[in-house]
Structures are given as C-alpha cells and as structure tokens.
Amino acid sequence: MHPLWLNDIESLEAISQNEETRRIFLRMASLSQTGRTSSFVVEVALDRDLDAVTKGRLVELAQDESFLLAVEEYLVRTHRLH
C-alpha cells in the first residue's frame, strides 16, 4: 500500500472513531454539497472556544470538496459495516 494512502486511511479512520468529529465532518460535507460552506466558515470564525490554528484548519478542510466527499463516503460505508 502506498504510504500516502495509508496516512489518508488512518486519518479517515480517526475521524470515524470520534462521534463528535464524525458529526462535524458529515456536516461540512453536507454544507459543501449544497453550496453553504460559507455559513460554516462564518460560524467557525465567530466561535470563541476555538484557537486560531484550529479555526484555520477547519476552514481549510471545509473548503476542500474532494476531501469532504471522500470522508463522507468512507464514513457512510464504514458505518454500515459496524
């Protein structure tokens, strides 16, 4: 297996193992598919509980449509298996 894919699979699995993280990524994927990512970005920017680094990472991930599609597919498929 290619090392880059192994890292991707490990990341996807880590997302799937944490219910809150899983919920956030599924929400970002849904917003991305419906063209409402900007509302999530504004919400993240206004969140006082998040530090600047976390905000930056969330915004970057929220704007990566291909990654969010891959995450959603992985989460849906693995959820059916468990």
29-69 pLDDT, tens digit each: 999 999 999 999 999 999 999 999 999 999 999 999 998 99
pTM > 0.95: yes or no: no
Lowest-confidence pick of 2-6, 25-29, 35-39 = 2-6
What is the Cα–Cα distance from 27 to 22, expressed in whole angstroms? 9
pLDDT in tens, 68-82: 999 999 999 987 655
Q: Which of 2, 58, 4, 3 is nearest to 32 (CA)?
A: 58
